[in-house]
Structure 1
Amino acid sequence: MTVAGFTVPRQFSFTTRPYAAIDDATDASLGLDDIDVRVRWMLDLIGAAQSELMARLWQPATFDVLAAGRDGQGRKLPMQGHVAAARLGWNPFYPTDVYVPSRVTRVVTSQTIGTLRTLAYRDHAIGSLSARFDPVTGRLTPPTTAGEYVPSGFARGVARQLAARSRSAASAGGPTPRLRITDVQGPPQTCVMARLSAADRQLAHITVTDAVLTLTVKLPTHEAPTGRAQWQRVRLTAAIPPHLHTRAITDWHLPTLVLDHRGLLLACAATEHVPTADLSAGATAVGVDWSPSTLGAAAIVTERPDGLVSDYRGWTYDDRGLGIKLARLQAEGQHLHRKAARLTRLAATAPPEVRAELEEKIAVLDAHRTAIGVKRGKINRELAFHFARHTVDYAAAAGAAVIGVEDLTTLETRGHGRVNNNRAAQSARRKAVDALAHTAAGVGVTVVSVPARGTSALCPGCNDKLSRPGGYHRAWCARCNVGGNRDHVAGVNLAKRALLGRRKAIRQRGQNPQIRIAEHAPVRQCRAKTSPTPSRPRHRRVRRSVPTATPPVGVNQIRIVPAPQASVWDTVKPAAASHVVTGSRDVPTSPASAASVADSMRFK
């Protein structure tokens, strides 16, 4: 339920591509290929400086300073990464005779400090586990304080590393040292990008008028600029996606520059106002259970004066075969990884001429594996938002104010075999939660995390253990005489816990509200149907306007029927292009119309 008249700000992200580029000094049109080259030069400078600074700071003293949050004079470190790096004296180095503006240095230090601060928690967790590790038994002692708690999966992985190091130290006759993150792994490889939000107007600024975004940014005119004159301003024009035209956006933020196989990509962020939700006012909740067979299933519980009721008729998400496709791509990627690893072992002892051939094959395998990873990422994103859209529609039709999802930090995939465990562990559940929270906030519904333990094994009515009369996917309670699909029963438990603990939810910045205590109240089955019937969008029919030709007499024609399209993309109508392209990828031209904003101007 939403509070009438009250809204709260919310940030979200979107991507777009420039379709025109103009030199800010001369107002001359520039080709998009030239812009890609100049952006590549700047990203190469940022990537090299960031890698050098990360390798120089990869030591335990760095994480000690970040964990303490104090500089050399005892002052608290500021939140801005570039300000903290300047106060600590952590500045990057550039090649000799190369001029880089100080605002670009801000981008480098901000990205580096952000990565190190993220890994500071991991360093603290590894040190805590190392202090609680017993080399004699090879086990971890139970934590004594809340700060020593880490996820069990992470603890098991570190315990294996500690056991291996203790064995090697025992064979060498020395004591087992305390482990730090710098002992476990090397400096992380960072993504080559430029977060312009760390800079000010001297490097970049943005304006939005009439659904058109204009970014003015300084780019180098040479691969190794030697002076300030070789950094010139460029105005990049990009179209705002049509689905954002009617949203109450109050602020547009500087984007992040990324280069992919299609050219320059602007990863933008914006702030909008959405209806605020009151968790304590809702009487209906939807529970979403992550299923091993599909992405998720949902069920509804309603609070009435006589208690909690549910019809135990859940809804299962239909991924339209994309889950099978993701499993196939995952198996193919793992096969390529094993093959590349085997060729790497062979190349280590092969003659020079054979080693060169093997390295070429390894490069091809790595390229194929990277392409598979990119394809899996795209499918996972589309699958997550498609699932979120259908789940939010299901909750809105039921009048729910809360959507309870399983807490992913306490959810482990085990007991289903090696293949199924690995497949479920790599599913896009985190992306689905983020997409669900983003989509639900637009209609005033709040997504909360609830404890996952026992949701599929306990009865929502009496809280006793359920039986499996029909196999793994069925659940039944003979005492309450309720049951059905295992995932639907789990959804009822999740919705019950969301309703009972919604007034005790813990809110942390940057996270969904969390319910950490699983309370119980009997949920009785009602005869009336309380959950809505989810809509089933039909696929678009494939129409062909080409007239059929009359076959010659005596000739048997082979009739080829096109396969019907069956994917989540068929339910989305393509947006009509409303802008024209005024730039080219090769040669600057005069303004001319084009069919698409971004795709038509980039040669394949």
Structure 2
Amino acid sequence: MTGPGSTAPRQFAFTTRAYTAVDDATCEPIGLDDVDTRVGWLLDLITAAGAELVSRLWQPATFDVLAAGLDRQDRKLPAQGHVAAARLGWNPNYPDGIYVPSRVTRVVTAQVMATLRTLTHRDTAITALSARFDPATGAVAPPTEPADYVPPGFARGVRRQLIAHARRTDGAQATRLRITDVQEPPRMAAMARLSAVDRQLAQIAVTDRELVLTVKLPTSPFPAGRAQWRRVRLTAAIPNHLHGRPVIEWHLPTLILDRKGLLWRCAATELVSAGDLELATVAVGVDWSPSTLGAAAITTDHPDGLVSDYRGWTYDDRGLGIKLARLQAEGQLLHAKAARLTRLAATAPPQVRAELEAKIAVLNEHRTAVGAKRGWINRELAFHFARQATEYASAAHAQVIAVEDLTTLETRDHGRVNNNRAAQSARRKAAAALAHAAAGAGITVVSVPSRGSSAWCPGCDEPLARPGGYHTAWCSRCRVGGNRDHVAGVNLAKRALLGRGKATRRRGQMPAVRVAEHAPVRPSRDKHAPTPSRPRHRRVRHSLPTVTQRMGVNPKQHVPAPQASVWDTVKPTPPQSDAGSRDTRLSPTSATPVADSMRST
């Protein structure tokens, strides 16, 4: 049910760490370092068993079964991965003499089935693309059936795999290839998804702002019996930003080990306001841009038609986008260096090969560090953008936020730097963070087609002129224009309002409008968008007083005040959030106030 005052369940994720651990049977305290060691033994068992099962199932028959979605009795496979694997008889094998509880086997099969089900779509695409691939020219013919269409970026990646396979086989290949022909089995991630188990292995309880997780852990790297699996009770603090939230259920976490030790990736379900998409009259369109992460504009549905003031809001990423692009280019360079050294080491003498392998290890270490840094910047950028965009939409009393469909968004022919910026994974994380933040404010986020959003006029649906270069847009017929990202935001908001009654909803995804409809958007001189906050600059004295120096007295040296900058604001710095919170931390103000002693009297 939707309507005023109605609520709907919404899942969200957060991270936390345990600060104490005790043995569940004896209540004796256990060191956190010992807990990390025992969790590492558990992850080693899960990773080894998962890798063995994936390599055994890495054959075309596996993907045929998953694509059909039926078991041997032609029954539909259940959604739970461990249940589907048990029905198909896909169970991992363990070394002789090692005892592993059946609930740990559930974790292994659930993770393996999730990986194989994800790769089933890629197997289907590779089969279709290989049938149209010419090994002599390395080209893929365009599809003839609508069902064979795949996104261009995905098709380019598959084409590179087909070209590499043709080189390895000297151009001799079958008519249709499978995923098992062009790539190796994927590596299993070292993690334990406890959501697939029951109370016999793990259970969670909430007591006074704390999460208490009771989980069975091995006491040795090769447990030989039940006695070498003991329950450990771990206690972690609930992040501060979750206190007072209407959480109705806490889910079992996923356990991983990072540089700081054991990390919980938790999930919970809370109640949020349920907005009705069909009753929306004000929409905010968010346009992804290579120059910044996003820009927004507002379109309103009046009784006499759609109107907009064509004045938008542009997100200031504080230079994080430039840093992110630089790190991506650095990671690509490290990858190219490591690949070149790997090719040289294949034919090098033993002594030179050892030196090259040492260099390759260093390059891989640096590339891992760059990837970790990119992940943190992506997270900070995504949630900072989501909070500001949600505040902008709430101030405009919008009921829906329209974002570009990332599956149809592809930036090309704008130079290597701009293409690199537009290919950042921060946009997908920003879309997920925006959906999370907007749901808390009762605003629905819907994806709309992105094609032509910044190239066509919202009023007459004709191509826009670029009188001031790439970043400007102008329609001489409708007499509207401005920043091309703001014009694109008007188009996106228009498509969301026109297709609000035809939006499709899929489980685990935001509502989507598949067809872009057109209706003229009239320019309005009325103010519909909220006024963006502007920083107030401190007064800076630029002139020095004229002082007559007296004879015999050392003159006072006047030190001029520094120039005012755009960062010299008087806004207070918000308090820092909890380490496990997904709320973005704002960086402190970089400028320092001018000391009174530095000013001339």
Q: Which TM class, normalised by the smaller chain length?
A: 0.7 to 0.9
For residues 267 and 134 of structure 1, what CA distance do their matches in structure 2 show? 45
For residues 122 and 530 of structure 1, what CA distance do their matches in structure 2 show? 45
Partner in structure 2 of residue 155 of structure 1: 155
CA contact (8 A) 1:15 1:267 kept: yes
Over the aligned positions, Cα root-mean-square deviation in angstroms equals 2.8
* 2:218 aligned to which of 217, 220, 223: 220
Partner in structure 1 of residue 576 of structure 2: 574
Shift of 1:566: 7.3
Shift of 1:428: 1.0
List aligned pairs for 1:53-132, cutoff 5 A.
Answer: 53-132=53-132
Q: Which amino acid aligns with 1:13?
A: A
Partner in structure 2 of residue 35 of structure 1: 35
For residues 57 and 10 of structure 2, what CA distance do their matches in structure 1 show? 34
Q: Which amino acid aligns with 2:8?
A: V
Partner in structure 2 of residue 9 of structure 1: 9
Shift of 1:422: 2.5
List aligned pairs for 1:199-598, cutoff 5 A.
Answer: 199-535=197-533, 571-575=573-577
CA contact (8 A) 1:285 1:404 kept: yes
CA contact (8 A) 1:298 1:316 kept: yes
Shift of 1:359: 1.7
Shift of 1:421: 1.2
Partner in structure 2 of residue 142 of structure 1: 143
For residues 59 and 577 of structure 1, what CA distance do their matches in structure 2 show? 43
Corresponding residue SS for 1:503: coil
CA contact (8 A) 2:435 2:445 kept: yes
Q: Which amino acid aligns with 1:436?
A: L
Q: After alignment, is 133-142 or 498-507 more displaced?
A: 133-142
Is 2:183 the partner of 1:191?
A: no
Q: After alignment, is 199-208 or 529-538 more displaced?
A: 529-538
Could you give the per-residue CA deviations for residues 487-541 of structure 1, whole angstroms, max 9, x where no partner exists? 11111111111111111111111111111111111111111221101235799xx
Count of residues paired in the alignment: 557
Partner in structure 2 of residue 550 of structure 1: none
Shift of 1:133: 4.5
Could you give the per-residue CA deviations for residues 333-386 of structure 1, whole angstroms, max 9, x where no partner exists? 223223223332333333322322222222122111101110110110110000
Distance 1:135-1:97 versus aligned 2 partners, 3 A rule:
closer
For residues 227 and 196 of structure 2, what CA distance do their matches in structure 1 show? 23
For residues 202 and 167 of structure 1, what CA distance do their matches in structure 2 show? 51
Shift of 1:3: 2.4
Could you give the per-residue CA deviations for residues 409-447 of structure 1, whole angstroms, max 9, x where no partner exists? 111110111332133212411000000000000011001
Could you give the per-residue CA deviations for residues 13-33 of structure 1, whole angstroms, max 9, x where no partner exists? 110000000100100011000
Is 2:47 the partner of 1:19?
A: no
Could you give the per-residue CA deviations for residues 22-80 of structure 1, whole angstroms, max 9, x where no partner exists? 10010001100000000000000000000111111000000011111122222222222
For residues 81 and 577 of structure 1, what CA distance do their matches in structure 2 show? 32
Q: After alignment, is 62-71 or 380-389 more displaced?
A: 62-71
CA contact (8 A) 2:129 2:140 kept: no
For residues 115 and 175 of structure 1, what CA distance do their matches in structure 2 show? 27
| Structure 2: gaps of 5 or more residues | 538-553, 581-601
CA contact (8 A) 1:297 1:488 kept: yes
Partner in structure 1 of residue 590 of structure 2: none
CA contact (8 A) 1:537 1:571 kept: no
For residues 105 and 513 of structure 1, what CA distance do their matches in structure 2 show? 35
For residues 266 and 566 of structure 1, what CA distance do their matches in structure 2 show? 37
Shift of 1:93: 1.1
Corresponding residue SS for 2:393: helix
Distance 1:164-1:94 versus aligned 2 partners, 3 A rule:
closer
Shift of 1:324: 1.6
Shift of 1:162: 4.3
Aligned identity (percent) is 71
CA contact (8 A) 2:162 2:182 kept: no
Corresponding residue SS for 1:183: helix
Corresponding residue SS for 1:504: coil
For residues 132 and 116 of structure 1, what CA distance do their matches in structure 2 show? 25
- What is the TM-score when the length of structure 1 is the normalising length? 0.87
CA contact (8 A) 1:165 1:176 kept: no
CA contact (8 A) 2:325 2:424 kept: no
Structure with the bigger RCO (C-alpha within 8 Å, sep 6+) is 1
| Structure 1: gaps of 5 or more residues | 540-552, 579-604
For residues 356 and 157 of structure 2, what CA distance do their matches in structure 1 show? 32
Shift of 1:129: 2.5
Could you give the per-residue CA deviations for residues 529-583 of structure 1, whole angstroms, max 9, x where no partner exists? 21101235799xxxxxxxxxxxxx9xx9xxxx9xx9979xx954124799xxxxx
Q: Which amino acid aligns with 1:75?
A: R
Shift of 1:175: 6.3
For residues 399 and 299 of structure 1, what CA distance do their matches in structure 2 show? 13
